[in-house]
Amino acid sequence: MNPAFQEALAARLLWINVAAFAGIEGCEAQTEAALEAAYNAVHDLASNDVLTYRHYGPCVPILLQDIPELADQYSLAHELHTELHETNVKSGSIGRLSASWLQPEPHEHFPYTSWLAAVDMAIAQLMDARVGTVAHIRQGHYRTVMHQWSHGESPVDTAEECIDAYECNQEMLEEEAHRAYCQDLHDTYASIEADLWAGWREECEDLGLAA
Farthest CA pair distance, the chain: 92
Whole-number pLDDT of residue 125: 93
Q: What is the pLDDT of residues 58-98, one digit of tens each?
A: 999 999 999 999 999 999 899 888 888 777 666 665 444 44
Whole-number pLDDT of residue 20: 94
Q: How many domains does the chain have?
A: 1
- pLDDT beneath 50, residues of the chain: 94-101, 104, 211
Which residue range is the domain that position 119 belongs to?
Answer: 3-170
Whole-number pLDDT of residue 94: 47
Could you give phi then psi for residue 58, rounded to 5 degrees? -75, -10
Whole-number pLDDT of residue 119: 92
Residue 85 lies in a domain: yes
Residue 201 lies in a domain: no
Whole-number pLDDT of residue 53: 87
Q: From residue 63, how far is each of 4, 14, 59 by CA, in Å?
A: 11, 12, 11
- The model scores a pTM over 0.75: no
Residue 35 lies in a domain: yes
Residue 15 lies in a domain: yes
Residue 16 lies in a domain: yes
What letter does residue 208 receive in the DSSP assignment?
T
Whole-number pLDDT of residue 97: 47
Residue 211 lies in a domain: no
Whole-number pLDDT of residue 92: 60
- Cα torsion angle, 132, 141, 78, 107, sign: negative
Report how far residue 74's alpha carbon sits from residue 7's, in angstroms, rounded to the nearest whole number.
12
Q: From residue 122, how far is each of 8, 103, 107, 182, 200 by CA, in Å?
A: 26, 21, 18, 38, 64
Q: From residue 13, how far is each of 18, 39, 130, 132, 171 by CA, in Å?
A: 9, 12, 18, 14, 36
**Measured torsion, CA atoms of residues 65, 69, 71, 77, in degrees rounded to the nearest 10:** -170
Q: Say if CB 18 and CB 27 are below 8 A apart.
A: no
